A and B are shown apart, each in its own frame.
Chain A
Amino acid sequence: MTDAQTLAYVQASAIALRLPLDTAQAQRVAVHMQRTAALAQLLDDLHLPPELEKAQIYVPKTHLPLESST
Protein backbone atom coordinates (compact mmCIF):
# COMPACT_ATOMS: atom_id res chain seq x y z
CA MET A 1 0.00 0.00 0.00
CA THR A 2 1.17 3.51 -0.71
CA ASP A 3 0.91 6.13 2.04
CA ALA A 4 -2.18 7.55 0.37
CA GLN A 5 -3.79 4.10 0.07
CA THR A 6 -3.04 3.37 3.73
CA LEU A 7 -4.62 6.62 4.79
CA ALA A 8 -7.67 5.90 2.63
CA TYR A 9 -7.95 2.43 4.19
CA VAL A 10 -7.71 3.86 7.72
CA GLN A 11 -10.40 6.42 7.02
CA ALA A 12 -12.74 3.93 5.32
CA SER A 13 -12.37 1.22 7.97
CA ALA A 14 -12.84 3.79 10.74
CA ILE A 15 -16.17 4.71 9.16
CA ALA A 16 -17.11 1.03 9.01
CA LEU A 17 -16.37 0.69 12.73
CA ARG A 18 -18.04 4.01 13.62
CA LEU A 19 -14.74 5.31 14.98
CA PRO A 20 -14.48 9.09 14.54
CA LEU A 21 -11.05 10.21 13.29
CA ASP A 22 -10.00 13.67 12.22
CA THR A 23 -7.51 13.97 9.41
CA ALA A 24 -4.50 14.57 11.66
CA GLN A 25 -5.22 11.51 13.78
CA ALA A 26 -5.99 9.38 10.72
CA GLN A 27 -2.56 10.30 9.38
CA ARG A 28 -0.87 9.28 12.64
CA VAL A 29 -2.82 6.02 12.70
CA ALA A 30 -1.83 5.38 9.09
CA VAL A 31 1.86 5.51 10.04
CA HIS A 32 1.28 2.64 12.47
CA MET A 33 -0.85 0.77 9.97
CA GLN A 34 1.90 1.04 7.39
CA ARG A 35 4.44 -0.44 9.84
CA THR A 36 2.10 -3.29 10.65
CA ALA A 37 1.42 -3.88 6.95
CA ALA A 38 5.12 -4.58 6.43
CA LEU A 39 5.01 -7.22 9.18
CA ALA A 40 1.79 -8.70 7.81
CA GLN A 41 3.44 -9.05 4.41
CA LEU A 42 6.04 -11.39 5.92
CA LEU A 43 3.28 -13.73 7.10
CA ASP A 44 1.23 -13.34 3.95
CA ASP A 45 4.16 -14.66 1.95
CA LEU A 46 4.11 -17.99 3.84
CA HIS A 47 1.33 -19.76 1.89
CA LEU A 48 0.19 -21.82 4.88
CA PRO A 49 -1.44 -25.19 4.12
CA PRO A 50 -5.25 -25.09 4.20
CA GLU A 51 -5.49 -27.72 6.94
CA LEU A 52 -3.47 -25.55 9.35
CA GLU A 53 -5.97 -24.32 11.93
CA LYS A 54 -5.42 -21.23 14.01
CA ALA A 55 -4.07 -21.51 17.51
CA GLN A 56 -6.93 -21.16 19.93
CA ILE A 57 -7.97 -21.59 23.51
CA TYR A 58 -11.68 -22.12 22.92
CA VAL A 59 -13.10 -25.30 24.44
CA PRO A 60 -16.84 -26.12 24.37
CA LYS A 61 -16.94 -26.94 28.07
CA THR A 62 -14.44 -27.48 30.84
CA HIS A 63 -13.88 -31.21 31.10
CA LEU A 64 -14.33 -32.55 34.62
CA PRO A 65 -13.91 -36.20 35.64
CA LEU A 66 -17.29 -37.95 35.79
CA GLU A 67 -17.07 -38.69 39.52
CA SER A 68 -16.73 -34.99 40.35
CA SER A 69 -19.87 -34.05 38.42
CA THR A 70 -22.18 -36.74 39.90
Chain B
Amino acid sequence: MNYDATTGTTLARQIARGERSAIEVLEDTLGCIAATDGRVNAFTSKTVARARAEAAAVDVRRMHGEVLPALAGVPFAVKNLFDISGEVTLAGSIVNKGHEPAKEDAFLVQRMRAAGAVLVGALNMDEYAYGFTTENSHYGPCHNPHDLTRIAGGSSGGSGAAVAAGQVPITLGSDTNGSIRVPASLCGVWGLKPTFGRLSRRGSYPFVHSIDHLGPLADSVGSLALAYDAMQSPDPLDPGCHAVAIEPTAAALQKGVQGLRIGVLGGYFHDNATAPARAAVKAAAKVLGAMDEVKWPDAALGRAAAFIISASEGGTLHLDDLRARAQDFEPLSVDRFISGALQPAAWYLQAQRFRRLYRDKVNALFEQWDVLLAPATPVSAPVIGTEWLDINGQQQPCRPSMGLLTQPVSFAGCPVVAAPFWPEGTGGLPIGVQIITAPWREDLALRAAMVLQTVGVSHLKTPAL
Protein backbone atom coordinates (compact mmCIF):
# COMPACT_ATOMS: atom_id res chain seq x y z
CA MET B 1 0.00 0.00 0.00
CA ASN B 2 1.30 3.46 -0.85
CA TYR B 3 0.69 5.62 2.18
CA ASP B 4 0.66 8.88 0.26
CA ALA B 5 -2.28 7.74 -1.84
CA THR B 6 -4.39 5.42 0.26
CA THR B 7 -4.67 6.38 3.89
CA GLY B 8 -7.83 5.44 5.73
CA THR B 9 -9.23 8.93 5.29
CA THR B 10 -8.62 8.78 1.54
CA LEU B 11 -10.34 5.40 1.32
CA ALA B 12 -13.34 6.76 3.22
CA ARG B 13 -13.57 9.70 0.81
CA GLN B 14 -13.23 7.53 -2.27
CA ILE B 15 -15.93 5.14 -1.08
CA ALA B 16 -18.27 7.97 -0.12
CA ARG B 17 -17.88 9.50 -3.60
CA GLY B 18 -18.35 6.17 -5.33
CA GLU B 19 -14.85 6.24 -6.80
CA ARG B 20 -14.22 2.82 -5.28
CA SER B 21 -16.65 0.31 -3.82
CA ALA B 22 -16.27 -0.98 -0.28
CA ILE B 23 -16.09 -4.51 -1.65
CA GLU B 24 -13.24 -3.55 -3.97
CA VAL B 25 -11.32 -1.99 -1.09
CA LEU B 26 -11.99 -5.04 1.07
CA GLU B 27 -10.77 -7.50 -1.56
CA ASP B 28 -7.57 -5.44 -1.98
CA THR B 29 -7.13 -5.56 1.79
CA LEU B 30 -7.65 -9.33 1.99
CA GLY B 31 -5.21 -9.76 -0.88
CA CYS B 32 -2.58 -7.69 0.89
CA ILE B 33 -3.03 -9.67 4.10
CA ALA B 34 -2.75 -12.96 2.21
CA ALA B 35 0.39 -11.78 0.44
CA THR B 36 2.22 -10.46 3.51
CA ASP B 37 1.01 -12.07 6.70
CA GLY B 38 2.94 -15.28 6.30
CA ARG B 39 6.01 -13.17 7.03
CA VAL B 40 4.57 -10.62 9.46
CA ASN B 41 2.24 -12.85 11.55
CA ALA B 42 0.05 -9.92 12.60
CA PHE B 43 -3.28 -11.75 12.25
CA THR B 44 -4.45 -14.65 14.40
CA SER B 45 -7.83 -14.92 12.66
CA LYS B 46 -9.72 -13.30 9.81
CA THR B 47 -13.42 -12.51 9.67
CA VAL B 48 -13.78 -12.73 5.90
CA ALA B 49 -17.47 -13.63 5.60
CA ARG B 50 -18.49 -10.95 8.05
CA ALA B 51 -16.26 -8.39 6.35
CA ARG B 52 -17.77 -9.14 2.93
CA ALA B 53 -21.28 -8.75 4.34
CA GLU B 54 -20.39 -5.46 6.02
CA ALA B 55 -18.69 -4.07 2.93
CA ALA B 56 -21.59 -5.10 0.71
CA ALA B 57 -23.99 -3.35 3.08
CA VAL B 58 -21.96 -0.14 2.76
CA ASP B 59 -22.15 -0.35 -1.03
CA VAL B 60 -25.94 -0.88 -0.89
CA ARG B 61 -26.35 2.17 1.34
CA ARG B 62 -24.36 4.30 -1.07
CA MET B 63 -26.37 3.01 -4.03
CA HIS B 64 -29.51 4.09 -2.21
CA GLY B 65 -28.10 7.57 -1.87
CA GLU B 66 -27.62 7.47 1.88
CA VAL B 67 -25.09 9.77 3.49
CA LEU B 68 -22.43 7.37 4.69
CA PRO B 69 -20.88 7.54 8.17
CA ALA B 70 -17.27 8.69 8.61
CA LEU B 71 -15.52 5.34 8.25
CA ALA B 72 -17.86 3.64 5.81
CA GLY B 73 -16.04 0.83 4.04
CA VAL B 74 -12.69 1.41 5.78
CA PRO B 75 -11.15 -1.93 6.83
CA PHE B 76 -9.88 -2.35 10.36
CA ALA B 77 -8.70 -5.13 12.68
CA VAL B 78 -8.52 -5.53 16.45
CA LYS B 79 -6.09 -6.94 19.00
CA ASN B 80 -7.44 -10.35 19.91
CA LEU B 81 -8.51 -9.26 23.37
CA PHE B 82 -11.54 -7.44 21.88
CA ASP B 83 -14.72 -9.49 21.77
CA ILE B 84 -15.89 -10.34 18.26
CA SER B 85 -19.36 -11.82 18.13
CA GLY B 86 -19.18 -15.57 17.54
CA GLU B 87 -15.40 -15.77 18.11
CA VAL B 88 -13.47 -16.89 21.18
CA THR B 89 -11.56 -13.98 22.73
CA LEU B 90 -8.07 -15.43 23.01
CA ALA B 91 -6.19 -12.51 24.58
CA GLY B 92 -3.05 -14.11 23.22
CA SER B 93 -3.49 -17.26 25.30
CA ILE B 94 -4.31 -20.91 24.77
CA VAL B 95 -5.98 -21.03 28.18
CA ASN B 96 -8.87 -18.96 26.80
CA LYS B 97 -9.39 -21.32 23.87
CA GLY B 98 -11.83 -23.24 26.06
CA HIS B 99 -14.00 -20.17 26.65
CA GLU B 100 -17.40 -19.69 25.04
CA PRO B 101 -17.46 -17.52 21.90
CA ALA B 102 -18.37 -13.89 22.53
CA LYS B 103 -22.09 -13.18 22.36
CA GLU B 104 -21.61 -9.68 21.00
CA ASP B 105 -18.90 -7.34 19.78
CA ALA B 106 -16.89 -5.29 22.25
CA PHE B 107 -18.30 -1.82 22.77
CA LEU B 108 -15.60 -0.15 20.67
CA VAL B 109 -16.04 -2.67 17.85
CA GLN B 110 -19.74 -1.81 17.89
CA ARG B 111 -18.85 1.87 17.66
CA MET B 112 -16.51 1.29 14.72
CA ARG B 113 -19.14 -0.78 12.98
CA ALA B 114 -21.73 1.96 13.52
CA ALA B 115 -19.30 4.34 11.82
CA GLY B 116 -19.21 2.01 8.82
CA ALA B 117 -15.78 0.46 9.37
CA VAL B 118 -15.37 -3.13 8.17
CA LEU B 119 -13.80 -5.64 10.58
CA VAL B 120 -11.38 -8.01 8.85
CA GLY B 121 -9.86 -9.92 11.76
CA ALA B 122 -8.10 -10.28 15.09
CA LEU B 123 -4.45 -9.53 15.79
CA ASN B 124 -1.49 -11.08 17.56
CA MET B 125 -0.46 -9.85 21.02
CA ASP B 126 1.51 -10.76 24.13
CA GLU B 127 -0.40 -13.26 26.24
CA TYR B 128 -2.91 -11.41 28.42
CA ALA B 129 -1.19 -8.16 27.37
CA TYR B 130 1.69 -8.74 29.81
CA GLY B 131 4.65 -7.83 27.60
CA PHE B 132 6.14 -5.25 25.25
CA THR B 133 7.44 -7.53 22.48
CA THR B 134 4.68 -9.84 21.08
CA GLU B 135 7.04 -12.80 21.15
CA ASN B 136 4.03 -15.04 21.60
CA SER B 137 5.09 -18.66 22.06
CA HIS B 138 1.61 -20.02 21.25
CA TYR B 139 0.89 -18.14 18.03
CA GLY B 140 4.43 -17.21 16.99
CA PRO B 141 6.20 -13.88 17.27
CA CYS B 142 4.87 -10.90 15.38
CA HIS B 143 7.56 -9.66 13.00
CA ASN B 144 8.38 -6.01 12.41
CA PRO B 145 7.47 -5.22 8.77
CA HIS B 146 10.52 -2.95 8.47
CA ASP B 147 12.90 -5.76 9.47
CA LEU B 148 11.39 -9.20 9.86
CA THR B 149 14.12 -10.33 12.25
CA ARG B 150 12.97 -7.73 14.79
CA ILE B 151 10.07 -7.39 17.21
CA ALA B 152 7.00 -5.34 16.40
CA GLY B 153 6.70 -4.23 20.02
CA GLY B 154 3.79 -5.07 22.27
CA SER B 155 1.60 -5.95 23.70
CA SER B 156 -0.46 -4.72 20.70
CA GLY B 157 2.25 -5.94 18.31
CA GLY B 158 -0.15 -7.22 15.67
CA SER B 159 -1.96 -3.89 15.75
CA GLY B 160 1.24 -1.97 15.00
CA ALA B 161 2.55 -4.42 12.41
CA ALA B 162 -0.72 -4.69 10.48
CA VAL B 163 -0.78 -0.93 9.90
CA ALA B 164 2.95 -0.74 9.14
CA ALA B 165 2.63 -3.58 6.62
CA GLY B 166 -0.20 -1.72 4.86
CA GLN B 167 -2.63 -4.54 5.62
CA VAL B 168 -5.24 -2.27 7.18
CA PRO B 169 -5.28 1.51 7.73
CA ILE B 170 -6.67 1.33 11.28
CA THR B 171 -6.35 -1.14 14.15
CA LEU B 172 -7.43 -1.15 17.77
CA GLY B 173 -5.15 -1.98 20.65
CA SER B 174 -4.91 -1.72 24.41
CA ASP B 175 -2.39 0.21 26.46
CA THR B 176 -1.82 -0.38 30.17
CA ASN B 177 1.84 0.57 30.39
CA GLY B 178 2.65 1.44 26.77
CA SER B 179 1.10 -1.35 24.71
CA ILE B 180 -0.18 1.00 21.97
CA ARG B 181 2.74 3.43 22.04
CA VAL B 182 5.55 0.84 22.04
CA PRO B 183 4.40 -1.00 18.89
CA ALA B 184 3.51 2.33 17.25
CA SER B 185 7.07 3.47 17.97
CA LEU B 186 8.81 0.31 16.80
CA CYS B 187 6.63 -0.17 13.69
CA GLY B 188 6.58 3.49 12.68
CA VAL B 189 2.83 4.16 12.77
CA TRP B 190 0.54 6.60 14.56
CA GLY B 191 -0.99 5.56 17.88
CA LEU B 192 -3.34 7.21 20.36
CA LYS B 193 -3.63 6.24 24.00
CA PRO B 194 -6.55 8.35 25.16
CA THR B 195 -7.17 9.67 28.66
CA PHE B 196 -7.77 6.92 31.22
CA GLY B 197 -11.54 6.54 31.30
CA ARG B 198 -12.20 8.18 27.92
CA LEU B 199 -13.12 5.05 25.92
CA SER B 200 -15.20 2.17 27.21
CA ARG B 201 -13.37 -1.10 27.81
CA ARG B 202 -16.54 -3.18 27.92
CA GLY B 203 -16.13 -6.40 25.98
CA SER B 204 -12.34 -6.41 26.08
CA TYR B 205 -10.30 -8.95 28.06
CA PRO B 206 -8.72 -7.09 30.98
CA PHE B 207 -5.13 -7.01 32.15
CA VAL B 208 -5.00 -4.38 34.93
CA HIS B 209 -8.39 -2.86 35.73
CA SER B 210 -6.81 0.17 37.41
CA ILE B 211 -4.74 1.20 34.38
CA ASP B 212 -6.15 -0.43 31.22
CA HIS B 213 -6.84 1.89 28.27
CA LEU B 214 -8.02 1.12 24.72
CA GLY B 215 -7.29 3.14 21.60
CA PRO B 216 -6.49 3.20 17.87
CA LEU B 217 -3.35 2.86 15.77
CA ALA B 218 -3.45 4.22 12.22
CA ASP B 219 -1.68 5.21 9.03
CA SER B 220 -2.28 8.95 9.40
CA VAL B 221 -3.38 11.52 11.94
CA GLY B 222 -6.67 11.86 10.06
CA SER B 223 -7.41 8.14 10.31
CA LEU B 224 -6.42 8.17 13.98
CA ALA B 225 -8.79 11.03 14.76
CA LEU B 226 -11.69 9.56 12.77
CA ALA B 227 -11.40 6.25 14.62
CA TYR B 228 -11.03 7.95 17.99
CA ASP B 229 -14.04 10.18 17.38
CA ALA B 230 -16.12 7.22 16.23
CA MET B 231 -15.36 5.27 19.40
CA GLN B 232 -16.15 8.02 21.87
CA SER B 233 -19.23 7.56 24.01
CA PRO B 234 -20.06 7.57 27.70
CA ASP B 235 -20.68 4.04 28.95
CA PRO B 236 -22.20 3.68 32.41
CA LEU B 237 -21.70 -0.09 32.17
CA ASP B 238 -17.89 0.23 32.27
CA PRO B 239 -16.95 1.33 35.80
CA GLY B 240 -13.68 2.67 34.41
CA CYS B 241 -15.32 4.85 31.74
CA HIS B 242 -15.43 8.41 33.04
CA ALA B 243 -16.39 10.19 29.82
CA VAL B 244 -19.55 12.28 30.11
CA ALA B 245 -19.72 13.58 26.55
CA ILE B 246 -18.39 13.02 23.06
CA GLU B 247 -15.73 15.60 22.23
CA PRO B 248 -14.89 15.26 18.51
CA THR B 249 -11.42 16.16 17.31
CA ALA B 250 -11.27 15.54 13.56
CA ALA B 251 -12.76 18.86 12.50
CA ALA B 252 -10.18 20.87 14.47
CA LEU B 253 -7.02 19.00 13.46
CA GLN B 254 -5.79 21.88 11.31
CA LYS B 255 -5.88 24.49 14.08
CA GLY B 256 -2.13 24.25 14.59
CA VAL B 257 -0.17 24.83 17.76
CA GLN B 258 0.17 28.59 17.83
CA GLY B 259 -0.17 29.83 21.40
CA LEU B 260 0.34 26.41 22.94
CA ARG B 261 3.04 26.04 25.57
CA ILE B 262 5.16 23.12 24.38
CA GLY B 263 8.10 21.63 26.26
CA VAL B 264 10.46 18.67 26.10
CA LEU B 265 10.70 16.23 29.00
CA GLY B 266 14.23 15.98 30.37
CA GLY B 267 15.69 14.10 33.34
CA TYR B 268 14.30 10.57 33.48
CA PHE B 269 13.05 10.74 29.87
CA HIS B 270 16.44 11.92 28.63
CA ASP B 271 18.49 9.55 30.75
CA ASN B 272 16.56 6.44 29.67
CA ALA B 273 16.68 7.24 25.95
CA THR B 274 19.45 6.46 23.49
CA ALA B 275 20.81 9.05 21.06
CA PRO B 276 18.41 8.19 18.19
CA ALA B 277 15.39 8.45 20.49
CA ARG B 278 16.59 11.85 21.68
CA ALA B 279 17.14 12.90 18.06
CA ALA B 280 13.55 11.99 17.20
CA VAL B 281 12.28 14.23 20.00
CA LYS B 282 14.62 17.02 18.93
CA ALA B 283 13.20 16.90 15.40
CA ALA B 284 9.65 17.11 16.72
CA ALA B 285 10.57 19.91 19.12
CA LYS B 286 12.13 21.96 16.33
CA VAL B 287 8.97 21.87 14.23
CA LEU B 288 6.69 22.58 17.19
CA GLY B 289 8.87 25.37 18.58
CA ALA B 290 9.51 23.62 21.89
CA MET B 291 12.55 25.22 23.48
CA ASP B 292 12.34 24.49 27.19
CA GLU B 293 13.23 21.34 29.08
CA VAL B 294 10.58 20.26 31.57
CA LYS B 295 10.79 17.89 34.53
CA TRP B 296 8.00 15.34 34.87
CA PRO B 297 7.34 14.82 38.59
CA ASP B 298 8.44 11.54 40.17
CA ALA B 299 8.75 9.65 36.86
CA ALA B 300 10.76 6.77 38.34
CA LEU B 301 8.29 6.42 41.20
CA GLY B 302 5.38 6.49 38.77
CA ARG B 303 6.98 3.73 36.77
CA ALA B 304 7.63 1.69 39.93
CA ALA B 305 4.04 2.05 41.09
CA ALA B 306 2.65 1.13 37.66
CA PHE B 307 4.90 -1.93 37.60
CA ILE B 308 3.74 -3.10 41.04
CA ILE B 309 0.03 -2.52 40.40
CA SER B 310 0.23 -4.26 37.02
CA ALA B 311 1.96 -7.29 38.47
CA SER B 312 -0.41 -7.57 41.40
CA GLU B 313 -3.71 -7.08 39.55
CA GLY B 314 -2.55 -9.08 36.52
CA GLY B 315 -1.30 -11.98 38.59
CA THR B 316 -4.34 -12.10 40.82
CA LEU B 317 -6.71 -12.00 37.82
CA HIS B 318 -5.26 -15.31 36.61
CA LEU B 319 -4.68 -16.96 39.98
CA ASP B 320 -7.14 -19.83 39.42
CA ASP B 321 -5.53 -20.76 36.10
CA LEU B 322 -2.03 -20.31 37.52
CA ARG B 323 -2.92 -22.82 40.25
CA ALA B 324 -4.42 -25.34 37.86
CA ARG B 325 -2.53 -25.06 34.58
CA ALA B 326 0.50 -22.79 34.79
CA GLN B 327 2.19 -24.98 32.19
CA ASP B 328 -0.27 -23.65 29.58
CA PHE B 329 0.80 -20.03 30.12
CA GLU B 330 3.32 -18.11 28.03
CA PRO B 331 6.76 -19.20 29.26
CA LEU B 332 8.07 -15.63 28.90
CA SER B 333 5.55 -14.18 31.35
CA VAL B 334 4.19 -16.93 33.59
CA ASP B 335 6.83 -16.39 36.30
CA ARG B 336 6.05 -12.65 36.34
CA PHE B 337 2.34 -13.40 36.69
CA ILE B 338 3.04 -15.70 39.64
CA SER B 339 5.38 -13.20 41.24
CA GLY B 340 2.70 -10.53 40.92
CA ALA B 341 0.07 -12.74 42.52
CA LEU B 342 2.37 -13.31 45.51
CA GLN B 343 3.31 -9.66 46.11
CA PRO B 344 2.63 -8.29 49.60
CA ALA B 345 -0.55 -6.22 49.85
CA ALA B 346 1.50 -3.39 51.38
CA TRP B 347 3.38 -2.87 48.10
CA TYR B 348 0.16 -2.67 46.13
CA LEU B 349 -1.60 -0.32 48.53
CA GLN B 350 1.38 1.99 48.82
CA ALA B 351 1.48 2.22 45.01
CA GLN B 352 -2.24 3.01 44.85
CA ARG B 353 -1.94 5.70 47.52
CA PHE B 354 1.04 7.20 45.73
CA ARG B 355 -0.99 7.31 42.53
CA ARG B 356 -3.35 9.93 43.99
CA LEU B 357 -0.42 12.16 44.95
CA TYR B 358 1.17 11.57 41.56
CA ARG B 359 -2.00 12.54 39.71
CA ASP B 360 -2.11 15.87 41.54
CA LYS B 361 1.53 16.63 40.69
CA VAL B 362 1.05 15.78 37.02
CA ASN B 363 -2.11 17.86 36.80
CA ALA B 364 -0.22 20.78 38.37
CA LEU B 365 2.46 20.43 35.69
CA PHE B 366 -0.16 20.92 33.00
CA GLU B 367 -1.14 24.26 34.50
CA GLN B 368 2.22 25.43 33.12
CA TRP B 369 2.29 23.46 29.87
CA ASP B 370 -0.10 22.36 27.13
CA VAL B 371 2.00 19.78 25.26
CA LEU B 372 5.04 17.80 26.38
CA LEU B 373 7.32 15.69 24.19
CA ALA B 374 9.29 12.55 25.05
CA PRO B 375 10.59 9.47 23.27
CA ALA B 376 8.17 6.54 23.16
CA THR B 377 10.85 3.85 23.44
CA PRO B 378 14.48 4.00 24.55
CA VAL B 379 15.63 2.28 21.35
CA SER B 380 14.39 1.14 17.94
CA ALA B 381 13.14 -2.43 17.51
CA PRO B 382 15.51 -5.08 18.95
CA VAL B 383 16.05 -8.45 17.27
CA ILE B 384 13.50 -11.09 18.32
CA GLY B 385 14.81 -12.98 21.35
CA THR B 386 16.97 -10.14 22.69
CA GLU B 387 17.40 -10.50 26.46
CA TRP B 388 19.45 -7.42 27.37
CA LEU B 389 19.63 -3.84 26.07
CA ASP B 390 22.44 -1.37 26.39
CA ILE B 391 20.86 1.97 27.28
CA ASN B 392 23.62 4.55 27.56
CA GLY B 393 26.07 2.04 29.01
CA GLN B 394 23.59 0.44 31.40
CA GLN B 395 22.58 -3.17 30.78
CA GLN B 396 18.80 -3.38 31.16
CA PRO B 397 16.49 -6.40 30.72
CA CYS B 398 15.05 -5.93 27.24
CA ARG B 399 11.40 -6.89 27.64
CA PRO B 400 10.36 -4.69 30.59
CA SER B 401 12.67 -1.84 29.50
CA MET B 402 10.71 -1.19 26.32
CA GLY B 403 8.09 0.47 28.56
CA LEU B 404 10.45 2.62 30.61
CA LEU B 405 9.33 5.85 28.92
CA THR B 406 5.63 5.09 28.51
CA GLN B 407 4.75 3.72 31.95
CA PRO B 408 5.07 6.97 33.94
CA VAL B 409 2.75 8.76 31.51
CA SER B 410 -0.09 6.21 31.32
CA PHE B 411 0.02 5.79 35.09
CA ALA B 412 -1.04 9.45 35.33
CA GLY B 413 -3.81 8.78 32.79
CA CYS B 414 -2.71 11.49 30.35
CA PRO B 415 -3.57 11.17 26.65
CA VAL B 416 -0.66 10.56 24.30
CA VAL B 417 -0.23 10.45 20.54
CA ALA B 418 2.76 8.39 19.40
CA ALA B 419 4.20 9.97 16.25
CA PRO B 420 6.46 7.97 13.88
CA PHE B 421 10.00 9.33 13.33
CA TRP B 422 12.95 7.90 11.40
CA PRO B 423 16.09 9.21 13.10
CA GLU B 424 19.68 8.55 12.06
CA GLY B 425 21.54 5.73 13.78
CA THR B 426 18.84 3.06 13.75
CA GLY B 427 19.63 1.36 10.45
CA GLY B 428 16.48 2.83 8.94
CA LEU B 429 14.11 1.79 11.74
CA PRO B 430 11.57 4.11 13.35
CA ILE B 431 11.28 5.45 16.88
CA GLY B 432 8.13 7.20 18.08
CA VAL B 433 7.74 10.49 19.90
CA GLN B 434 5.11 10.81 22.63
CA ILE B 435 2.97 13.94 22.36
CA ILE B 436 1.55 14.22 25.86
CA THR B 437 -1.24 16.52 27.04
CA ALA B 438 -3.38 17.06 30.12
CA PRO B 439 -6.18 14.58 30.82
CA TRP B 440 -9.15 15.06 28.45
CA ARG B 441 -7.10 17.13 25.95
CA GLU B 442 -6.63 14.58 23.19
CA ASP B 443 -7.51 17.41 20.80
CA LEU B 444 -4.25 19.25 21.53
CA ALA B 445 -2.11 16.15 21.06
CA LEU B 446 -3.80 15.42 17.74
CA ARG B 447 -3.37 19.03 16.58
CA ALA B 448 0.35 18.90 17.33
CA ALA B 449 0.55 15.53 15.56
CA MET B 450 -1.12 17.05 12.51
CA VAL B 451 1.51 19.79 12.38
CA LEU B 452 4.27 17.17 12.40
CA GLN B 453 2.55 15.20 9.66
CA THR B 454 1.84 18.27 7.51
CA VAL B 455 5.42 19.51 7.71
CA GLY B 456 6.50 16.01 6.70
CA VAL B 457 8.81 15.08 9.58
CA SER B 458 6.51 12.39 10.94
CA HIS B 459 5.09 9.79 8.60
CA LEU B 460 4.86 6.12 7.70
CA LYS B 461 7.23 4.39 5.30
CA THR B 462 6.27 1.56 2.99
CA PRO B 463 8.20 -1.57 4.04
CA ALA B 464 9.89 -3.81 1.48
CA LEU B 465 7.76 -6.89 2.10
Which positions 1-56 of chain A face chain B at CB distance < 8 Å? 9-10, 13-14, 17-21, 25, 28-33, 36, 39-40, 42-44, 46, 48, 52-56
Q: What interface size band does chain A fall in?
A: 20 to 34
Q: How many residues of B contact A (CB 8 A)?
A: 38
Given the known inter-chain contacts A17-B319, A36-B307, A40-B308, please indicate yes or no for A54 contacting B356, CB distance below 8 A: yes
A66 within 8 A of B: no
Q: Can you give 7 contacting A-B residue pairs, CB < 8 Å?
A: A14-B342, A29-B335, A32-B311, A39-B303, A48-B353, A57-B209, A62-B236
The answer to whether B335 and A25 touch across the interface, beta carbons within 8 angstroms, is yes
By a CB distance below 8 angstroms, the chain B residues around A14 are 338, 342
| Chain A positions near chain B (C-beta within 8 angstroms) | 9-10, 13-14, 17-21, 25, 28-33, 36, 39-40, 42-44, 46, 48, 52-59, 62, 64
The answer to whether B355 and A29 touch across the interface, beta carbons within 8 angstroms, is no
Instruction: For B311, give the chain A residue with the smallest CB separation.
Output: A36
The answer to whether A29 and B342 touch across the interface, beta carbons within 8 angstroms, is yes
Given the known inter-chain contacts A42-B301, A43-B305, please indicate yes or no for A36 contacting B347, CB distance below 8 A: yes
The answer to whether A43 and B351 touch across the interface, beta carbons within 8 angstroms, is yes
Contact with A along B343-357 (1 / 0, CB 8 A): 110110111111111
Given the known inter-chain contacts A36-B307, A40-B308, please indicate yes or no for A20 contacting B339, CB distance below 8 A: no
**Interface-central residue, A9, A52, A62, by most chain B CB under 10 Å:** A52
By a CB distance below 8 angstroms, the chain A residues around B359 are 55
B341 within 8 A of A: yes
Contact with A along B313-352 (1 / 0, CB 8 A): 0000001001100100000000110111111101101111
Given the known inter-chain contacts A40-B304, A43-B347, please indicate yes or no for A54 contacting B352, CB distance below 8 A: yes
Instruction: For B241, give the chain A residue with the smallest CB separation.
Output: A57
Query: Complex Cα distance A55/B359, Å?
Result: 9
